[in-house]
Structure 1
Amino acid sequence: MSDWYIAQVNIGRLIAPWPDPRVLPFFEALDRINTLAEQSPGFVWRLQDEAGNAMGISYAPDPLLAVNMSVWRDSDSLFDFVYRSAHTPEMARRREYFDRFDGAYQALWWIEAGTLPTINDALSRLWMLDRFGPSQHAFTFKARFPIPGIAGPPVDYKPDPWCVGRA
């Protein structure tokens, strides 16, 4: 078992408040998708309020901003849930429910096993990713950095062919 887990945050701005019919299907799918996450291999934790989801947690002046955070044993487990489960078709509908977001809307980072991320920690990761690009501090599925203490480029990093051999 690893001493590190992967944390993720994603944020979005709803096109309308609940219970507006334009976002109602999103809210109706929440319990099913949250249950799917909890039953997925590698799931550790997810942010939730008394209603069992994170939609009632206010973290910004804009009441239409929504935050989702979770922790997984490894990035492959998270990737499988996001892109290879019943979550995928729901996520594909995000443009129906959320405005296009300027800046980073998803970030991944490593946390020590047994710790939980805070919303402030997650927002700082988004800020770092937005301002400075992928790094060990905050990264994406396209540029997954290895567990802290392991040197090397991001896992999915593909060097620019123009730069190869031009040090």
Structure 2
Amino acid sequence: MSGHHLAQLNVGTLRHPLDDPRTHGFTSMLDTLNSVADRSPGFVWRLVGDGGNDATAIRTSLGADVIVNMSVWESRESLWDYVYRSGHLDVLRRRAEWFELPKTAFQVMWWVPAGHVPTVEEAVERLELLRAHGPSPSAFGFRDRYTAAEADLAVLAPAATTKAQPTD
């Protein structure tokens, strides 16, 4: 899959402001988690804010109390290893301490051409696609196993099925 990388976005609605002492358990671990991600095999890129090492100040159309985390990985396996085998899982298990329980999908993945840096807007569109239509090659979660080739076909399919319009 050298021609594609896996992009991911996950979002969380904070229970308390980032500077609230009740959120300190989360904010105090960000630099360490980001450093581990940066050094993880298969890591390509992650979103950071202006002047910071994380993206906690970036806001989207999802709401003022929603923080985002976005990154790109060489493969699903490299992202899986980071999330579930690097110490990140300990933080994930404590998510309910700092974030509201999600009522809809809070994480989405999609394939991007190698070298493409996704925008936050692109990522939010993918999350909204997943929320509206469920998993597909264009927007999916860890339980889904869509390949980059399937994502390419999904992009090409609408054009291939469009009927030519008669010309005068």
TM over 0.5: same fold?
yes
1:3-18 residue pairs with structure 2 within 5 A? 3-18=3-18
Q: Name the CA shift for 1:122/1:151 in 2 (closer, same or farther; >3 Å).
A: closer
Matches of 1:151 and 1:18 in 2, distance apart?
39
Q: Name the CA shift for 1:110/1:61 in 2 (closer, same or farther; >3 Å).
A: closer
The range that moved more, 84-93 or 141-150, is 141-150
Answer whether contact 2:6 2:73 (CA < 8 A) is retained. Answer: yes
Q: Does 1:126 align with 2:130?
A: no
SS in 1 for 2:29: helix
Per-residue deviation, residues 102-143 of structure 1 (Å, max 9, x unmatched)? 211000000000111111111111111111111010011101
Answer whether contact 1:110 1:148 (CA < 8 A) is retained. Answer: no
Where in structure 2 are there 5+ consecutive unaligned residues? 154-168
Per the alignment, residue 69 of structure 2 pairs with 68
1:25-44 residue pairs with structure 2 within 5 A? 25-44=25-44
Q: Does 1:107 align with 2:105?
A: no
Give 1 or 2 for the bigger CA radius of gyration: 2
Q: Name the CA shift for 1:151/1:63 in 2 (closer, same or farther; >3 Å).
A: closer
Please report how far the alpha carbon of residue 151 of structure 1 lies from its aligned counterpart in structure 2 after TM superposition.
Answer: 9.3
SS in 1 for 2:132: helix
Please report how far the alpha carbon of residue 62 of structure 1 lies from its aligned counterpart in structure 2 after TM superposition.
Answer: 3.3
Matches of 1:39 and 1:20 in 2, distance apart?
29
The one-letter code matched in structure 1 to 2:16 is A
Matches of 1:65 and 1:147 in 2, distance apart?
29
The one-letter code matched in structure 1 to 2:69 is N
* The structure with more helix, counted as a fraction of residues: 2
Per the alignment, residue 164 of structure 1 pairs with none
Q: Name the CA shift for 1:111/1:104 in 2 (closer, same or farther; >3 Å).
A: same
Where in structure 1 are there 5+ consecutive unaligned residues? 153-167
Please report how far the alpha carbon of residue 61 of structure 1 lies from its aligned counterpart in structure 2 after TM superposition.
Answer: 7.2
Q: Does 1:148 align with 2:149?
A: yes
The one-letter code matched in structure 2 to 1:27 is T
| Sequence identity (%) | 41
Per the alignment, residue 46 of structure 1 pairs with 46
Per-residue deviation, residues 66-103 of structure 1 (Å, max 9, x unmatched)? 00000000000000100111111011100000001121
Matches of 1:113 and 1:52 in 2, distance apart?
23
> What is the RMSD computed on CA atoms of the aligned residues?
1.8
Matches of 2:150 and 2:57 in 1, distance apart?
37
**Equivalent residues, number:** 152
Per the alignment, residue 156 of structure 2 pairs with none
